[in-house]
Amino acid sequence: MQRSLMMMMVVLLLAGGRSVQAEDRPERERLSKQVAKLRPPAADFAWQSIPWHTEPDTALVEAKAEGRPLLVWLAGGRDRDGSPLERC
């Protein structure tokens, strides 16, 4: 994922805010193909299809009903929400 982010930054730096002209199109297409090769596969984003819960009560009821463990993920910081946890 860091490689794709770095490649996008390179593309943006090379573009430099110029308008795309006829002579820039082959270069743009070449860079687009390179970026497409570095883009992570859809399987890397499988975690986004998990039905995450933000309410602990709802999550606990569902976990008990399905007989599954409950994963609790906490993150915070004194500046954001007053919790004693440090930022990740």
Cβ neighbours of residue 87 closer than 8 Å, sequence gap 6 or more: 75, 76, 77, 80
What is the reported pTM?
Answer: 0.37
Q: What DSSP letter does each residue of 34-75 carry, written as one string?
A: HHHHHSPPGGGGGGGGS---S-HHHHHHHHHHHT--------
Question: pLDDT tens for residues 8-57?
Answer: 666 666 666 555 566 678 888 999 999 988 888 888 888 888 888 888 89
